[in-house]
Amino acid sequence: MNILVTGATGRVGSRLVPRLLDQGYSVSVLVRNPEHTRDLQRLGAEIMIGDLLQPQTLQEAAAHKDAIVHLAAAFRGVAPEVSHAVNMDGTIALADAALAEGVPRFIYASTNLVYGPGTDERYFNEEDLPVPISPYPIAKAAAERELLNLYRSRGLGLCILRLAFVYGDGDPHLEEGVLKFRQWHPAQRIHLVHQADVAQAVMLGIESPRAKGQIFNVADDQPVSAAEILSMYNETMPDDAVSRTVDPSWLQLVDTAKIREQLEFRPNYPSLYRALNEGAL
C-alpha cells in the first residue's frame, strides 16, 4: 500500500513514518525542503517536493497513492492568517489533489482543542459541536467542516483523528508543557496520547472500512493532572497553587468509546505511568 505523509519531518511525522515502514507500507513524504529528510530516506521513504500553499505541486505527489496522511500544520508562533492559510486552505488543496487522483483514503490529523473550553466532569464525544477559541483550533475546525463537505459531496475517503496532547518516544512536547503546567491548579487534568498510539490510530484509519467519513477522538485511557506530570520531572507545585482556578480553555477531556468500538483501538500506553515504567517517554 502506497502512503503519502505530510509533516513527516515534524514531531509526529518523524515517529510515524518509521512505524509505517516497519509495517510494510511504501511511504512517500511531501516536504518543501529535502535537507531534513536524510534519516527518512535511509529508512526507505521516498522524498517528494511540494508545498501546501502551492496547489500545483500537490497533484503529482498524490498520484498513485492508496492513502494520504495529512499531519502538516502551522501551530506555534504564527499569525492567525498564516494558521488559516496552512491549516485550512492548504488542507483543502491537498484534499482536492487526492480527489483528482482518486486516492481512496485521506487521514486528517486534527486536535481535541477544537472542542473549546470544557469541564472536569464531562468528556467530549465526536457528536459535540466544536467551539474553538484560538487561531490554531479555529483553523483546524474549519478544515474539518470543509473536508466533511468534500466527503459528502465528492466522496473524499476521509477519516478525521482528533488527537489529544501527543507525547512519547523522546518527543519534548510533554517536558515543554511543564512551563505551562506549573501555572495550573495541581488537580487540573489533561488528556494525552502516546506517539505509538497515534500511529495505531492512523493505521486503523487507513485500513478499516468503518473509518471512512468518520471522526474519532484519539487519547489514552487516563487523563493526568498537572501535579502528576510535574512529579515525574521531580518538580513540585508552588504552595499557592491550590488557590488557583481550573482553566477551562485547557479542559478537552475526550471520550474514546467510538474508536475503541468501531476500530478496536486499544492503547499501547493506556496511561502516562505505563509509558514512564516502560521507558517510553
Active site residues: 136
Q: If you count DSSP H runs as helices and E runs as strands, how many of each does the chain have, helices first?
A: 11, 11
Long-range Cβ contacts of 171-174 (<8 Å, 24+ apart): 171/11, 171/15, 171/195, 172/11, 173/11, 174/229, 174/281
Nearest Cα neighbor of 107 from 179, 209, 5, 195 is 5
CA–CA distance, 240 with 142 (Å, rounded to integer): 39
CA–CA distance, 196 with 201 (Å, rounded to integer): 9
33: number of Cβ within 10 Å: 9
Question: Which one-letter DSSP state was computed for residue 246?
Answer: P
CA–CA distance, 66 with 39 (Å, rounded to integer): 24
Q: Which residue has the cell 492568517?
A: 81
